[in-house]
Structure 1
């Protein structure tokens, strides 16, 4: 599968979406609070987002998916 990163970071309410390249389906969405958390952790590299190198983009997509999954699991972990 191939993905596209659709990032609008210089808006009043920034967001980043990961889209399936062939279908345009939205696979993940990171909104302002998640983007702030990524920035605070040092895990949001704007240069990587605009890179034309496939390896750099692939790594960025992988890290963003992992971050989304980790965030989704937090409430379940906090309940135990």
Structure 2
């Protein structure tokens, strides 16, 4: 499978989406809080987002999916 990263990080409410390249289906969405957490952990490098190296992008997508799944498994806060 091939994915596209659709990132809008320089907005008042930034977000990043991972899209299935062939269908356009949204596979994952990271909103403001998740992006902030990734930046705080040092796991979101803006240079990687603008890379044209397939291996760099593949690893980035993999890490973003893992982060999304790990975040979904957390117990609800409250």
TM interval, shorter chain, is over 0.9
Q: Distance in 1 between matches of 2:28 and 2:9?
A: 16
For structure 2, the 5+ residue unaligned runs are: none
TM-score by length of 2: 0.96
Listed one character per residue, the Cα deviations across residues 51-71 of structure 1 (whole Å, up to 9, x for unaligned) are 000000000000000000000
Indicate whether 1:48 and 2:52 are aligned.
Answer: no
- Aligned CA RMSD, in angstroms, stands at 1.2
1:67 alignment counterpart: 67
**Structure having the larger proportion of residues in helix:** 1
For structure 1, the 5+ residue unaligned runs are: none
1:75 positional shift:
1.3
The alignment covers a number of residue pairs equal to: 77
TM-score by length of 1: 0.93
